[in-house]
Amino acid sequence: MKVIFTQRQHRKVHGFLLCIAMLILLCSISLPFITSSHADAAPIIISGPLPTGTVNTPYSTTLVASTPCTWALTGGILPPGLTLASNGTIYGIPTTANTYLFMASATDNASATAIGMFSITIVLPPLSIATSSLPQATEGQSYSASISVYNAVGSLTWVISGGSLPVGIAFDANSGYLWGTPVAGTAGTYSLTLTVTDNAATPRSVQRTFGLYVEKGYFRPTISIDQGLAAGSTKVYANGRLLTTLQGGESTQIAVDLGTTATITVDPIVNYPSKDNVRFKAETSSAGVSEGSLSAYFSYFTEYYITMKSAIQQTPVPVGTGWYRSGSSFATNAPETIEGGAGTQYRFVSWLLSNNNIITNRNISFTVTGPEIITAQYYTYYRLSVDSAYGETTGAGWYKSGSEAKWSIKNPEVPMKGILGFFKGKYVAVNPNGTEIMTGPKNMTITWENDYTLPFILIPLTMLALLGAIFALYYFVVRPRWKSKPVQQQVALSGQIPTPPQPQTTVVMINDTRPRTPMTTKEQLMEKFGELLEIYEKEIRESLGAPSVSVIAPAIESKQLPVSSFNSTKSAAFSAGDIPLCNNFAKKFIRTVVSPWQQSEMKTALLPESDKGRKKTEVGLTIVWAKSLYNEWQVSTCTLPQGHEGAHEGTKKLLYNLLNTVTEERTYGSNQPVTAPSPHFTDGMPEMPIDASLIVLADELTFETMR
């Protein structure tokens, strides 16, 4: 009885102590609510159930109260791997599956505190089979494969829950391992369903169906590449399927199904890895293998590339460019002469080989032992043409580029035709000979000038002689006859002395085909003399090809443009024996250009305090920038002899006349870079420095304007 009483007393004591503990816990929980006033109410925790987490998977959630609070763990435990932050965020990577209870306090800015009870459940990740497929098996060959599982706990148990394995293949239910050798006749596709179960507190299972293909048995032919493939490698194909890559001297074996044949092919061309002009070509690129023919052998030979070139771009490339087998023969030729553009020829000189050897024979042949670059070399010839309106020329023909060609006229003086030729008028060659450096096709025209020296002397003398003869005829023949006529009968009849009649002499002169009114002999002589001078003028004009001018003028003036001061040294002042030049000047407008910016004036200046936030006055620099605008002219000066025929030819020179000078003033601070004005209306115009010697006044450019 005493023992029973003692046990009852112990139970009462334990019950009492448990009541005291519960009372203390309730007091500790309710104390914040009892001590707080209505003005400082505790925050309200509004977070609902917390989300479930997964082992080894990042977890994050946030506890929420009615007001911003500082959170702290006050009881219980968090899942291993998770942490409670002061802002109420629970984060981390959980490591152990279970359900975890904990208390968290939320304290606001007024130090009011609320406590909440929470729980988080952490679960294991799902069990899964990692292996997705089984490797292929072959009849008569050993086979093995293993199956992996994710997220398993403890040991695993495997079961074949569907399908079957080929004969000769076994399966280990403890390790998930397949091994063995498929027997002959088992070729085909097999379906196999496996179920695996782990050893977790609550065991979990998962299953997957696999396909296992057993290939038919095969034989192994050998494929070889000979040493002729000295560099690079060739791809090897079986029935169009790429098997491997082999170099020269290598071999390999492939598997071919029993009872079948295979066509083995290789690359017909293999390029040299580091040379574009060397390659290897297969004697044959295809061969068949079978159970009775267990080898395929491929041989290669070397080919070299021959490149044909021409040293002159305008000439065609000789034939022969291409690939040639090592040891084969190469032959080609080049034409002796190739016609170029007008007045241009290219004449074969030699062949230049890549080793700088020179072959002068137009027909070339050799044995191919390596790549080669063969260049046909030509000399360029230009034709010199010599044109002349009179006489016979020499020197026309073909000349090598850069050579010296001499030309001339055999007879530099040719008599004129008609009355001028009768009076010794002649054409004189202004440029009877010359020398040209042949830099292109050239056409030389011999210019002729008219020499009227003897006609100017002989024709007036002839006219004076003719006039003297006519006057002598009148004075000694006509006049005496007129004076010898009797007048006595007229006096007797009229009784007075009659007036002597005017002489009625008729003279037949040049080109007199019109009816004439009575004129004196002197007037008729002057008229016929004028007709003769007109004929003389007409022949001169036709020989010059010039418009009509008066033959009694002191001289025929050549129309020249005024000579400017910048070329006054070319004025027509000639020494005895010099041929006067045409000196015709003409201008052609090219473009408008501007000079670069120049600093024309520089001075210091005070910068205001308000400028760019300066707090005190600073000294700056004021620069006046200037640039000038010019018209650019091309001025041509004719250097042909005076009175030449055809267009003017001669020298050309660029000159400039000032249009305007623009200025712009800019002020720079002490830390500012000194730069020219930009943008400016002259931007985009051609800019260039103008030499002072090329600048002329606009008044000096009063020449003809060329279009």
Query: Do residues 395 and 540 both lie within one domain?
Result: yes
Q: How far apart are CA 6 and CA 116, in angstroms?
A: 41
Token pair for 204: 């979990």
Q: Which residues contact 692 (CB under 8 A, 6 or more apart)?
A: none
Q: How far apart are CA 468 and CA 585, in angstroms?
A: 48
Q: Is the pTM of this model over 0.85?
A: no
Name the DSSP class of 292: T
Cα 65 to chain centroid distance, Å, stands at 70
CATH code for position 106: 2.60.40.10
Q: What is the pLDDT of residue 13?
A: 42
Q: Does a structural domain hold residue 488?
A: no
Helix pair 521-544, 453-473: axis angle to 10 deg:
160
Q: Does a structural domain hold residue 443?
A: yes
Query: Do residues 173 and 133 both lie within one domain?
Result: yes
Q: How far apart are CA 259 and CA 657, in angstroms?
A: 99
Query: Do residues 68 and 107 both lie within one domain?
Result: yes
- What's the Cα-to-Cα distance from 42 to each of 32, 35, 89, rounded to whole Å? 8, 10, 20
Query: Do residues 532 and 452 both lie within one domain?
Result: yes
Q: Does a structural domain hold residue 105?
A: yes
Q: How many CA atoms lie within 13 A of 379 on its CB side?
A: 14
Q: Which residues pair with 179 in a beta bridge?
A: 144, 170
Q: Which residues contact 496 (CB under 8 A, 6 or more apart)?
A: none
Token pair for 347: 């004449």
Q: What is the pLDDT of residue 482?
A: 56
Q: Which of 472, 452, 454 is nearest to 464 (CA)?
A: 472
Q: Which of 454, 467, 449 is nearest to 532 (CA)?
A: 467
Which mean pLDDT values do the consecutive 10-residue runs of the chain (707 residues) have? 38 51 51 44 86 93 92 93 94 93 92 92 89 88 90 87 91 90 87 90 88 86 94 94 93 83 94 94 94 91 95 90 95 92 92 92 93 94 92 92 92 88 89 92 92 87 89 78 46 40 43 49 58 62 47 33 41 48 83 88 72 57 88 87 81 87 84 83 84 83 70
Cα 654 to chain centroid distance, Å, stands at 33
Query: Using omega within 30 degrees of 0 as the cis cutoff, is the peptide bond preceding 679 cis?
Result: yes
269-271 vs 278-282, strand pairing mode: antiparallel
Q: How far apart are CA 688 and CA 385, in angstroms?
A: 41
Query: Do residues 43 and 115 both lie within one domain?
Result: yes
Query: Do residues 99 and 114 both lie within one domain?
Result: yes
Q: Does a structural domain hold residue 315?
A: yes
Name the DSSP class of 468: H
Q: How far apart are CA 157 and CA 626, in angstroms?
A: 98
Q: How far apart are CA 428 and CA 410, in angstroms?
A: 12
| Residues shown for the chain | 707
Q: How far apart are CA 564 and CA 575, in angstroms?
A: 22
Q: Does a structural domain hold residue 485?
A: no
Q: Which H or E element spans position 652? A: strand 650-668
Q: Does a structural domain hold residue 227?
A: yes
Q: Which of 599, 586, 606 is nearest to 701 (CA)?
A: 586
Residue found under tokens 């025209």: 445
Q: Are 212 and 137 in contact (CB under 8 A)?
A: yes
Structural domain range at position 239 = 218-298
Query: Do residues 227 and 273 both lie within one domain?
Result: yes
Of 83, 98, 123, which marks where a domain is finished? 123
Total count of domains within the chain:
7
What's the Rg (C-alpha) of the chain? 62
Token pair for 535: 């004929």
Q: Which residues of 3-41 are buried (b: 16+ CB within 10 A; e: fewer)?
A: eeeeeeeeeeeeeeeeeeeeeeeeeeeeebeeeeeeeee
- What's the Cα-to-Cα distance from 27 to each of 34, 86, 368, rounded to whole Å? 9, 25, 111
Query: Do residues 106 and 249 both lie within one domain?
Result: no
Q: Which of 553, 691, 668, 538 is nearest to 603 (CA)?
A: 668
Query: Do residues 431 and 459 both lie within one domain?
Result: yes
Q: How far apart are CA 324 and CA 332, in angstroms?
A: 13
Q: Which residues contact 631 (CB under 8 A, 6 or more apart)?
A: 589, 592, 656, 657, 659
Q: Are 364 and 331 in contact (CB under 8 A)?
A: yes
Q: How far apart are CA 151 and CA 130, in angstroms?
A: 10
Q: How far apart are CA 114 and CA 283, in angstroms?
A: 94
Of 215, 231, 259, which marks where a domain is finished? 215
Q: Are 434 and 406 in contact (CB under 8 A)?
A: yes
Q: Does a structural domain hold residue 138?
A: yes
| Angle made by CA atoms 480, 481, 484, in degrees to the nearest 5 | 85
Q: Which of 302, 371, 370, 376 is nearest to 332 (CA)?
A: 376
Residue found under tokens 């479930």: 52
- What's the Cα-to-Cα distance from 416 to each of 41, 227, 256, 426, 539, rounded to whole Å? 139, 90, 106, 5, 10
Query: Do residues 446 and 532 both lie within one domain?
Result: yes
Query: Do residues 164 and 252 both lie within one domain?
Result: no
Q: How far apart are CA 549 and CA 695, in angstroms?
A: 39
Query: Do residues 206 and 232 both lie within one domain?
Result: no
Q: Are 291 and 217 in contact (CB under 8 A)?
A: no
Q: Does a structural domain hold residue 602?
A: yes
Q: Which residues contact 559 (CB under 8 A, 6 or more apart)?
A: none
